[in-house]
A and B are shown apart, each in its own frame.
Chain A
Amino acid sequence: MSSLKAYIVTRTLMVIPTVLILLTLVFFIMRILPGDPISAMVGQKVPAEVLERMREEAGLNKPLVIQYIDYLKGVFTGDLGNSMIWGRRPVMEEIMDRFPATLELTIFGFTISVLLGVLTGSIAAFRRGSKADTGMRIYSVVAYTLFIPWFGMLLQMFFGVYLKILPIGGRITPGLAPDHITGLYVLDSILTLNLESLETSLLYLFLPSMTLGIVLSGAYTRILRNNLIDVLSQDFIVAYRARGVREWKVVKHAMKNAFIPVVTLMGLQFAILLAGAVLTESTFSWPGMGTFLLERIEYRDYNAVQGAIVFYAVFVALISLIVDVIYALLDPRIRY
């Protein structure tokens, strides 16, 4: 087996204990906290005996260890169980209802952050010491420290209320959702050639993904600037220039070398992006996983919270795996 293949297999296998540990922690922490989903959902009015029966039906009166074993059995057979509140829908169904929205926002936010970060970082590095450099460095610090709900609201006020050109909240104009293929509205609109849906879904995406993208771009600006400056002063660049290699070729080589830490950051950012998406989702009423998870934690919907976290963990682990593989491809020295 080639070393790259072995690396991928090892990294994939490492996902399993990571998810298992996380799942176990979430399982027990949720249950140690006071309160349970049944009494939180029904609130006050339901008679005690009905409450007891509902708890029994949900398996909450079994010993904790049995509940844990039952849950693990389910997870290994791909069954994340049923939500414990509001309709007791299968958790997988609940997740699949919301995950495409988060994924779509994440992809757009991520792309914007990388584009902005690379653009501002390169400007700063190539014009080191200039006013543009100072400007970009200030941008990176300001962007990094922006509080998403505050910044999001500013954009809502300006583009929504004042200019009235972009929607305030939601994912698409009611009634215009494209036929469900992937759940990603932009992609589904393209696949079904529904231009009206494409246009509105892009409009609704603009402010939330811009908010998320700008806030996350600051880190890229900074890291790319520093690395580019570092690379540009290295011998091989000096040698290229001395030999009269065209500037764009020099830039290409410099960028390729400076990009390695950026790729690492991209992997790490994905987890941060999902956390940032929680704030962005609630600011823009984006119907994704973030708000779902927060709501279900409040209501102690054990299965939904566990399911969402396992799902997230697997997703983030897969992304890091992909990033690591790209990393290994970019820099063949990195094989563990």
Chain B
Amino acid sequence: MAKHKVLVVGLLLLAVLFFGCAGEKQEAPKAEVKTITIGVTDKITELDPANAYDFYTWEVMNNIMGGLMRYKPGTTELEPFLAESYEVQDGGKVYIFHLRKDLKFADGTPCTAEDVVRSIKRVMELQGDPSWLVTEFVDKVEAVDDYTVKFTLKEPISYFLALTATPPYFPVHPNYKPDAIDPDQTAGGVGPYKIASWVRDQELILETNENFFGEKPKVDRIVVKFYKDATTLRLALEKGEIDIAWRTLSPVDIQSLKGKEGLQVIEAPGGFIRYLVLNANKDTEYPTKDKLVRQAIAAAIDRQEIIDKVFMGTMEPLYSLVPNGMWSHIDAFKDKYGDGNIELAKQLLSQAGYSESNKLKLELWWTPTHYGDTEKDVAQILKAQLEKTGMIEVELKSAEWSTYTDYARKSAMMLSLFGWYPDYLDPDDYTAPFLKSTANNWLGYPYADEEMDKLIEKASKATSTQEREELYKQIQEKLAEDAPIIPLVQGKLTVVAKSNIQGITLDPTMIFRYYLLDIS
């Protein structure tokens, strides 16, 4: 008996010791260092811009590196960043950038034209995942002198400046391995912050880069904590473990955090879109190869219902692949079909030979984790909307991400849900990869239309914005007519932060600029 009493006392002591330690001591102690802690559910995959090709890693790169051009914070307007100015020559085939003369990497090593050229050639040679953003367009890159970089393109590309604002074009420190991908390299490039420490999947600590040419960030230290799911992220915010909860809280959590004392919820439109792919492959037996069927589906879908019931207002309806707010955008699908237009859907289905007794049988695919927990609900609502016609029967099917992408490439799915993050902010990035017959193999539905191909080709080379705008409008109208893809919703960006955090700037680039933050 005495023995187990000792054990009880021992356990109690242990508990007291734990709780005794527990106080408000969990934040790093250096009070004089202005620190903001950001929580995310994303992860950094690798710190080499020659191979990193995911949204969150690109965000981190935009805070520790920079390109010749950048998007002016809060806008979709491009401005010179590492370059002071640029010239376009030879009908848009040659771009010359004049670099700033005060560029330095975080350790003080000067950054010259030679470094820019070395970094871009490195991307081209290593042929990592995003290298096509360089190799598809650039024929030659050379340093004319210490501060001048000259690009010769394979052919004129109207959105080349936007490409130079993407990480594959960012100059990297000479410490990066010249002939191999360097996933753990923290030397970075020329940016407002430098990496002070990085523990994979746990934490990233950024500190002000004293050698940065521009305005110094107001916050000395940014700590990013990586969480596994939205629930833990929300609890961490409520506990005060983090100052900002960034990507991605669930719609329900965002809803319930709105109006909570001491917190602010900031929303902005994002360039992230969701859409439904209809297999238009003429070689298959899928009923979706019939344009009338595709049009009927397009008519039956009610976007607002999806937003209200699944996303609780954290998305907005989208009626074109070109997102709302981007130049040339038109509500092509709304103009042609309306929204949730069951009558029109029925009419089109009848024309296609279906009736209530001879129902159109569809298979709708979704993937459980890649687009978050809400995906199943999206699929179920779509099923209900389509079946509302009384002439459609939908079977839901799901597969995890690697299988899903495999099926997509093999054209094995009839209807499938997908999403898209932009590489560069131009209508081209929202149209060509989906609709150009030589670029849409990844969707496994060879939607190939000669007229569409010509329009896209012409739009990507035209130099006048007015001409491009006209062409992209035609592309969107043709997309609505042929309906191989039906745009559904556009993502909103949401940041929930403590109310003493200032400077949160969100824009369609979706890059959270930590260097604009401040704390009071």
Expressed in whole angstroms, the Cα–Cα distance for A285 and B48 within the complex equals 25
B405 on the interface (CB 8 Å rule)? yes
**Contact of B405 with A40 in the complex, beta carbons under 8 Å:** yes
Query: With A87-B48, A161-B239, A168-B235 as given contacts, are A248 and B2 in contact (CB-CB < 8 Å)?
Result: yes
How many chain A residues sit at the interface, stated as a range, is 35 or more
Question: Which stretch (B112-120, B144-152, B201-209, B382-390) binds chain A?
Answer: B201-209
Q: B51 and A87: CB pair below 8 A?
A: yes
Q: Once the chains bind, are A202 and B18 in contact (CB under 8 Å)?
A: yes
Judged by a CB distance under 8 angstroms, whether A284 is at the interface is yes
Closest beta carbon of chain A to B45's beta carbon, Å: 4
Q: Is the CB of A88 within 8 A of B181?
A: yes
Query: How far apart are the CA atoms of A6 and B470 in the complex, in Å?
Result: 84
Contacts A153-B231, A203-B18; is A171 near B202 (CB within 8 Å)? yes
**Interface digits, B1-37 against A, CB 8 Å rule (1 contact, 0 not)?**
1111001100100000011011111111100000001
* Stretch among A173-181, A264-272, A313-321, A325-333 lining the B interface: A173-181
In the complex, whether A166 has a CB less than 8 A from a CB of chain B is: yes
On whether A39 and B199 interact (CB within 8 A), knowing A86-B45, A157-B235, A200-B25, the answer reads: no
> Is the beta-carbon distance between A164 and B239 smaller than 8 angstroms?
yes
Surface stretch bound by B, among A10-18, A41-49, A63-71, A186-194 = A41-49
Residue in B51, B403, B420, B433 whose Cβ sees the most chain A Cβ within 10 Å = B403
B23 to chain A, nearest CB (A): 7
**Smallest Cβ-Cβ distance to A157: which chain B residue:** B235
Q: Give the residues in chain B near A200, CB-CB below 8 Å.
A: 25-26
Within 8 A of B (CB), among A99-146: 115, 118-119, 122-123, 126
Interface residues on B, range: 35 or more
Known contacts: A42-B129, A87-B184, A174-B37. The answer to whether A34 contacts B53 by CB under 8 A is no
A40→B402 contact, CB < 8 A? yes
The B-contacting residues of A in range 15-34, CB under 8 angstroms, are 33-34
CB distance from B273 to the nearest CB of A (A): 12
Neighbouring A residues of B19 by C-beta, 8 Å: 165
* Contact in complex: A35, B442 (CB < 8 Å): no
Residue A235 interfacial (CB < 8 Å): no
Closest B-chain residue to A156, C-beta based?
Answer: B235
B228 close to chain A: CB less than 8 A = yes
Are A203 and B26 closer than 8 Å at their CB atoms? yes
Give Cα A123–Cα B225 distance, bound, in whole angstroms.
42
CB neighbours of B132 from chain A (8 A) = 45-47, 50
Pair A164/B225 contact, Cβ less than 8 Å: no
> Closest Cβ of chain B: how far from A82's Cβ, in Å?
11
CA distance A85 to B23 in the complex (A): 41
A114 to chain B, nearest CB (A): 12
Within 8 A of A (CB), among B35-70: 37, 45-46, 48, 51, 53
B407 close to chain A: CB less than 8 A: yes
Annotate B108-132 by CB proximity to A: 1 below 8 A, 0 otherwise: 0000000000000000000101011
- CB distance B406 to A36 under 8 Å? yes
- A97 to B201 alpha-carbon distance, docked (Å): 10
Chain A residues in 8 Å Cβ range of B403: 33-35
Could you tell me the distance between the alpha carbons of A172 and B226 in the complex, rounded to whole angstroms?
12
Contact A299 B402 (CB under 8 A): yes
| In the bound complex, CA of A190 to CA of B11 (Å) | 21
Whole-angstrom distance between the Cβ of B67 and the nearest chain A Cβ? 19
* B361 contacts partner chain A, Cβ-Cβ < 8 Å: no
Nearest A residue to B46, CB-CB: A87
Query: Which residues of chain A are within 8 angstroms of B23 by Cβ–Cβ distance?
Result: 165
Minimal Cβ-Cβ distance residue in B for A53: B127
In the bound assembly, the distance between CA atoms of A45 and B440 in angstroms comes to: 9
Is B217 on the interface with A (CB-CB < 8 A)?
no
Q: Which residue of A lies closest to B4 (CB)?
A: A122
A281 interfacial by beta-carbon distance below 8 Å: yes
A169 B227 Cβ-Cβ under 8 A: yes
Q: Do A89 and B183 contact each other (CB < 8 Å), given the known contacts A173-B26, A282-B228?
A: yes
Q: Are B4 and A202 in contact (CB under 8 A)?
A: no
A123 to B53, CA, bound (A): 57
> Are A251 and B3 in contact, CB atoms less than 8 angstroms apart?
yes
Residue A44 contacts which of B1, B27, B407, B443 (CB distance < 8 angstroms)? B443
Complex CA distance for A173 and B37, rounded to whole angstroms = 11
Separation of A39 and B46 alpha carbons in the complex (Å): 17
Does chain B have a CB within 8 A of A167? yes
B404 at the interface (CB under 8 A from A): yes
A248 touches B203 (CB 8 A): no
Cα A313 to Cα B228 in complex, Å, equals 25
Cβ distance B138 to chain A, nearest Cβ, rounded Å: 15
Q: Please determine whether A39 and B402 come into contact, CB atoms closer than 8 angstroms.
A: yes
Is B305 in the interface zone, CB < 8 Å from A? no
Nearest neighbor of B204 in chain A, beta-carbon distance: A174
**A157–B433 alpha-carbon span in the complex (Å):** 45
Q: How long is the Cα–Cα vector from A165 to B405 in the complex, in angstroms?
A: 44
The complex places the Cα of A53 from the Cα of B127 at a distance, in Å, of 10
Complex Cα–Cα for A157 and B179 (A): 49
B8 contacts across to A, CB distance below 8 A: 119
In contact, B235 and A87 (Cβ under 8 angstroms) = no
* Interface pair A174/B423, CB less than 8 Å apart: no
In contact, A44 and B45 (Cβ under 8 angstroms): no
Interface string of A295-326 (1 = CB under 8 A from B): 00011100000000000000000000000000
Residues of A with C-beta under 8 A to B236: 160, 168-169
Q: Tell me the complex Cα distance, A161–B404, Å.
A: 38
Chain B residue with Cβ nearest A39: B405
Q: In the assembly, what is the distance between CA of A153 and CA of B235, in Å?
A: 9
Complex Cα distance, B443 from A85, in Å, reads: 21
Min distance, Cβ B442 to any Cβ of chain A, angstroms: 5
State in angstroms the CA–CA spacing of A119 and B7 once bound together: 7
Nearest A residue to B131, CB-CB: A50
Q: What CA separation (Å) do A174 and B136 show in the bound complex?
A: 41
In the assembled complex, the CB of B494 is this many whole angstroms from the nearest CB of chain A, namely 20
Asked if residues B228 and A169 are in contact (CB atoms below 8 Å), the reply is yes
The residue from B27, B46, B402 contacting A36, defined by CB atoms under 8 A apart: B402
**Are A123 and B228 touching (Cβ within 8 A)?**
no
Restricting to B202-257, which residues have a CB under 8 Å from any CB of A? 202-203, 205, 223, 225-229, 231-232, 235-236, 238-241
Contact B127 A87 (CB under 8 A): no
Given contacts A40-B402, A87-B181, contact A161 B238 (CB under 8 A): yes
Q: Closest CB-CB distance, B298 to chain A, in whole Å?
A: 21
Q: Are A34 and B418 in contact (CB under 8 A)?
A: no
Given contacts A53-B127, A164-B239, 12 further A-B contacts (CB under 8 A): A34-B407, A50-B131, A87-B48, A88-B183, A126-B4, A165-B19, A165-B23, A167-B241, A171-B202, A174-B28, A206-B18, A248-B1
| Between-chain CB contacts (< 8 Å), 25 pairs | A34-B399, A35-B406, A36-B402, A40-B406, A44-B420, A45-B53, A47-B439, A50-B131, A167-B26, A169-B227, A170-B227, A171-B202, A174-B28, A177-B197, A200-B26, A202-B21, A203-B18, A203-B21, A248-B2, A282-B228, A283-B232, A284-B232, A285-B227, A298-B400, A300-B402
**Residues in chain A within 8 A of chain B (CB atoms):** 33-37, 39-48, 50, 53-54, 85-89, 97-98, 115, 118-119, 122-123, 126, 153, 156-157, 160-161, 164-177, 196, 199-200, 202-203, 206, 247-248, 251, 281-285, 287, 291-292, 298-300
Q: Report, nearest first, the 9 A-B pairs whose CB atoms are least far apart.
A: A87-B183, A35-B402, A40-B402, A87-B46, A165-B22, A86-B45, A35-B406, A174-B203, A35-B403
